[in-house]
Amino acid sequence: MSYDQKILIIRFSSIGDIILSTSPLRSIRNTFPNAQITFLTLDNFSSLLEYHPDIDCLVSINKRFTIRELIDFRNYLKKKRYDIVFDLHNSIRSNFLVFNNHNTLYQIKKPRWKRLLLFLFHKNKFETNFSVIKMYHEAFDTDSIKTNFPLTSLRVSKYERKKANSLLLENGISGKFIVIIPGAAWPQKQWSATKYIMTLKKLNIPNVILGTKKDQICFQISKKLNNSVNLAGKTTLREAISIISNAAKVIGSDTGLTHAAEALSIPVSMILGPTSSETGAGVNLANSIQVEKDIWCRPCSQNGKFPCYRSNQVCLDSIQPEDVIKSINSI
């Protein structure tokens, strides 16, 4: 196939942000249908984008590249002679790679000062319709009124779905089930294991728990339930999203796999604590629901990494099992 342009899109991390970048990816493909689109990300996340119909070339680098390796890779990109570069990360690394290395460059503008005001002084200067997807689009689409952006998207092959079903059957799951994603990169974003257990006992639906082996909350939940299958730390990223693609619904934290569910058109109940839409959290599907409380001190950080200074974490502690049950019964 012959291409009329060569386009490079950059988003290095993390899972949720890469998934959100598939919305502008679709817009770019719609705008440049005959272009060759290359997507650059980190090695440990690249499998997420396998089989994506809007990507012609998937390229990845190691997070721990030395300066020498980065220089070599920058020279490699320069030889590719991309016509347009969309930098959806705007980090020191991405700026180094794209500097004087393209014909046309579009970069996102991160709302750092607005977030600082919000986190430190609780002054919200964000537009009411702000979203990270909108922020990505504004890098190359100046229509600030526009809100009907493409949904996020991932692809899972028929073979992967079949393999995931076989794994579920091996663990006693043969019919309708929901997926639970209780972990997060930072424990401050995790709802309590006790409340997950109470919720799942009341729902009484077969469920599969996904996460990493570091997510101790997954093991705390599963050992108290009879109808849970805990696959935390037992799947690859591709296997995890394949399992999610077969689920009826998902309950989880503001974390990558929960965003992946929406990109696979699976409705989500996302439990939000220290993060909010201003930080990139929140749902996008019409039939997904954000379970959150309007607490004056939230959001308090970009990714929920800072420990709560209050005696108890009110933003999550005030969310009750009934709130999550109501949300999951509504989708």
CATH number of 5-138: 3.40.50.2000
pLDDT tens-digit series, residues 266-299: 999 999 999 999 888 999 999 999 999 999 999 9
Whether residue 145 has pLDDT greater than 60: no
Instruction: Give the residue carrying structure tokens 């920058």.
Output: 74
Phi, psi of 46 (to 5 degrees): -65, -35
Checking if the pLDDT of 194 tops 90, the result is yes
Average pLDDT over residues 199-222: 97
Task: State the Cα–Cα distance between residues 276 and 124, nearest whole angstrom.
Answer: 12
* Helices 158-170 and 237-245, axial angle in degrees (round to 10): 90
The Cα-based distances of 154 to 58, 182, 200 in angstroms read 14, 21, 28
Instruction: Please give the angle made by the CA atoms of 196, 15 and 249, to the nearest 5 degrees.
Output: 40
CB 240 within 8 A of CB 266: no
Say if residues 169 and 177 touch (Cβ distance below 8 Å). no
What tokens appear for 102 in the block? 């393209």
Whole-number pLDDT of residue 76: 95
Q: Where are the alpha helices (DSSP H) in 92-186?
A: 92-98, 112-121, 132-138, 158-170
- Using DSSP's 3-state secondary structure scheme, residue 288 falls into coil
pLDDT, residue 303, reads 87
What is the distance between the alpha carbons of residues 259 and 241, in angstroms, rounded to a whole number?
10
In contact, 232 and 255? CB cutoff 8 Å: no
Q: With a threshold of 0.85, does the pTM exceed it?
A: yes
What CATH homologous superfamily does 158-330 map to?
Glycogen Phosphorylase B; (3.40.50.2000)
C-alpha span between 327 and 258 (Å, rounded): 15
Start-to-end C-alpha separation, the chain: 42
Confidence of residue 234 (pLDDT cuts 50, 70, 90): very high
C-alpha dist (Å) from residue 289 to 101, 188, 253, 270: 42, 20, 12, 6
3-state helix, strand, coil in the chain (%, to 5): 40, 15, 45
Q: Which backbone phi and psi does 303 adopt, to 5 degrees?
A: -130, 15
d(CA 23, CA 12): 16
Q: How far apart are CA 216 and CA 182, in angstroms?
A: 10
Phi, psi of 231 (to 5 degrees): -110, 15
pLDDT digits (tens, 9 = 90+) for 302-328: 888 888 988 889 999 999 999 999 999
Q: Please, is 225 exposed, middle or buried when counting C-beta atoms within 10 Å of its C-beta (0-12, 13-18, 19+)? A: middle
331 band by pLDDT with thresholds 50, 70 and 90: low
Percent of the chain with pLDDT over 70: 98
Model pLDDT, residue 100: 83
What torsion, rounded to 10 degrees, do the Cα atoms 240, 236, 194, 172 define?
60
Query: How many whole angstroms separate alpha carbon 68 and alpha carbon 32?
Result: 34
C-alpha–C-alpha distance, residues 197 and 194, integer Å: 5
What digits encode the pLDDT tens for the residues 1-44?
Answer: 688 999 999 999 999 999 999 999 999 999 999 999 999 999 99
User: What does the pLDDT read at residue 25?
Assistant: 97
Which of 30, 70, 69 is CA-nearest to residue 53?
Answer: 30
Chain region(s) in the chain for CATH 3.40.50.2000: 5-138, 158-330
Res 146 pLDDT > 80: no
Q: What is the pLDDT of residue 103?
A: 83
